[in-house]
Chains A and B, each alone.
Chain A
Amino acid sequence: MQAGHLADNVMHFGRVLRHAGLPVGSDRIALALQALQATGLEDRESLRAVLAATLLDRHASRPMFDQAFDLFWRDPDFEGHMHRLLLPRVDVPRSPRPGLSENRRLAEALFPTAPTPPAPPQDAQTMTVTWTANAREVLQRADFATMSTDEWRQAAQALAALRWLFEPLPSRRRRAAPEGAGARLDFRRTLQASARQGGEGVWPRWSQPAVRPAPVLMLVDISGSMSRYSRVALHLAHALARGGPLECFVFGTRLTRITRWLRDRDPDHALSQIENAVRDWSGGTRIGENLHAFHREWAGRTLSGRSTVLLISDGLETGDPQTLREGLGAEMARLRRRCRRLLWLNPLLRYDAFAPVAGGIRTMLPHVDALLPVHNLDSLKALAQTLGQGPQGPQGPRPRPFSSPVTPPITPP
């Protein structure tokens, strides 16, 4: 390990990156120091190259790294100082923080403020609620938008307790199975069994394709017209995320991926983190533009031909028919082509007199496989059934669907 200020500075830089949110462990910092010894230092750019190679592990971290690097190693006489292994000057301005636009985290990492004191723990409240069958039935049918806070709490618990079924899809791996329809001879196990008995008699062993749950991708509209149902949709996302592979995006004026916050076990904590991270709540609706952004940036990585897409939106996009068809219609067609099933959950179906008249709705409707309600618990139960069954195909012996919270079986290699 190279003694001197360089090692200290690299460690400090690694810590800065870590506080800014990049996953830089101490093993990577040690690797960076090792690498600096192996390559030697010539100039600032070679230092940047070495640190980028050892400290980064994904492309998304690069902009943050570049900004941090430019701020941290900013001495004009860099080469001279490096050669003398002196501390590079980092000019800390006394005045307000440098304009880092949206990199609040980086600013906080470089100029740490006093830590905020933790919120005092809430007293646990125990409520005894005797449920009559009547009350429960009423809750199942009650519209989310009209619920009081208490009712909403009960409904959220009921939602989390629903069994969410993920459709089982055959994969290319094989697993041991008894002889039967669709079973293929498994040579390896057959031979092993035979060899164990000294080659006497070959007892055939069979295998069938392993199954894995079909991934679900949710696109949730959080614009103003959807504000009452956004919360429901996020609770739904959280419940689904606990049961199987789920990707979730929210969009209003722009698109944000919220999958990682849904991994939190506590739904309220997850939702509060999401609320902090997403900026465009209850704004305008731009479905077509956001779908375009989704296709450009995320579809390649998160959408597969096996995915079931749940689009939760009221479809109230404005525009003349021509623009709608070319923009929103084209994006919907593209989405339908890339996924296995496209289900549209529309809270406007709570109105009995609903008819697809609005331009946006008419443009979107031909491209979806089903238009489903989402306004009360009954409709969510129906959704769970639909998800588990899959598109109606030729009826045959089907494996049992995957259900939450039991994790699906992992096939060993």
Chain B
Amino acid sequence: MGAEDAAPAGRPATLTLPADVPALQALLATQGYIAGRELATTLFLALKLQRPLFLEGEPGTGKTEIARALSAALGRRLIRLQCHEGLDLAGAAYEWNYGRQMLEIRLAEAQGRADASLGQSLFDRRFLLERPLLQALEGDGPGTPPPVLLVDELDRADEPFEAYLLEVLGEFQLTIPELGTVRAAQPPLVVLTSNRSREVHDAVRRRCLYHWVDYPDAALERQILARRVPEAPAALSAQVVAFVQMLREMDLAKRPGISETIDWVRALLAMDAVSLDPATLQDTLGVLLKGQDDLARVRGTEAQRMLDRLRALPAA
């Protein structure tokens, strides 16, 4: 999901931060992200105080999008580390290129160079594969702003990885036994996200600034739709938002998030719908609701009831 409007061409990387919270909100708006007051305050503080940011929320509420918008708005490179169970040092920080190292050994043997000093030349920078954490610490060089490091879905990684991440985030440095310690010249902006499938450890939370990303309210959702799907007629968007807000009040297993709303509007446009009618609703409900139990509940009479309620509402 990139910016839909014409962003200022090639936004130059800048070391200067926005002056205050409204300036940051305006900056994010140029990238198509509408941030509420509290979220913008937390982002601003994370930038100013150089603390990592921990975003928690239900899936589909746009946490990853925040990091993308932030990096695009500030003109910084986005480095993404997708967490999964079993993610370890080799996948997250660095790994030695064993294939090339073994080739080097073979070469050295063939050329008669194999001696004790081979051990040292084997562990040289050219044989090191840099993974996201190391890339984020090294940055792009002096004079360029530090990158934005997105550690996505931290709740999928296990506890030993969290402990390791905490070490790295504490001092923004990382030790490679064969080479030494790598320190970040400028600390990157770190954004951690979690879908709460597991409680992330207290130590990580204490290190970060915390923000709970909630579902948007009706006004904000309409604004987001206007930004992201500008070709949708206003009446359709209003109906869609009202319907989704009603859905979120219900006791569903998985409530639809803002990404589902955007997908739904796009789906409706693809089916040439200008307003919500029962047939189109039944056909496209699978875009909003992703579980059989939820679909069974809402399909049929429930959906009809909600449409009637929608029509009874005064025009927004």
Contact = CB atoms under 8 A, between A and B. Distances in A.
Given A39-B45, A199-B118, A296 B98 contact: no
A202 B109 CA distance: 13
A35 interface: yes
A46 B20 CA distance: 11
Contact of A52 (B21, B38, B116, B119): B38
B316 to A, nearest CB: 25
B308 to A, nearest CB: 25
B218 interface: no
Contacts of A58: 56, 205, 210
A357 to B, nearest CB: 29
Interface in A349-379: none
Given A23-B202, A195-B118, A62 B42 contact: no
Interface stretch (B85-93, B137-145, B229-237): B85-93
A191 B108 contact: no
Contacts of B126: none
A188 interface: yes
A81 interface: no
Interface in B68-115: 84-86, 88-90, 95-96, 98, 101-102, 105, 108-109, 114-115
A39 B90 contact: no
- Please report whether the interface of chain A is mostly helix, strand, loop or mixed according to DSSP: helix
B212 interface: yes
A56 B212 CA distance: 10
Given A410-B160, A411-B160, A199 B89 contact: no
Given A50-B41, A413-B160, A295 B199 contact: no
A79 interface: no
Contacts of A46: 21, 37, 41
Given A25-B206, A172-B86, A199-B114, A54 B119 contact: no
Contacts, number: 120
A28 B209 CA distance: 10
Q: Contact residue range for chain B?
A: 35 or more
B48 interface: yes
A171 interface: yes
Interface in A6-53: 23, 25, 27-28, 31, 34-35, 38-40, 45-46, 48-50, 52-53
A200 interface: yes
Contact of A35 (B49, B89, B161, B210): B49
A45 B56 CA distance: 21
Contact of B161 (A59, A194, A202, A413): A413
Interface residues of A, number: 46
Contacts of B44: 38-39
A111 interface: no
Given A300-B197, A413-B89, A57 B160 contact: no
Contact of B98 (A28, A31, A62, A188): A188
B123 interface: yes
B196 interface: yes
Given A199-B109, A200-B114, A301 B197 contact: yes
A57 B210 contact: yes
Contacts of A34: 49
A23 B202 CA distance: 10
Nearest to A53: B42
> In the complex, which of the residues A301, A410, A413 has the most CB atoms of chain B within 10 Å of its own CB atom?
A413
Contacts of B95: 188
A187 interface: yes
Nearest to B36: A49
Interface string A145-178: 0000000000000000000000000011100000
A38 B105 contact: no
B192 interface: no
A194 B49 contact: no
5 contacts: A56-B210, A171-B158, A195-B118, A199-B105, A200-B114
Given A300-B196, A410-B160, 9 more contacts: A23-B206, A38-B48, A46-B37, A49-B21, A53-B42, A56-B210, A57-B202, A173-B158, A413-B89
Q: 4 tightest A-B contacts by CB?
A: A172-B86, A49-B41, A57-B205, A53-B42
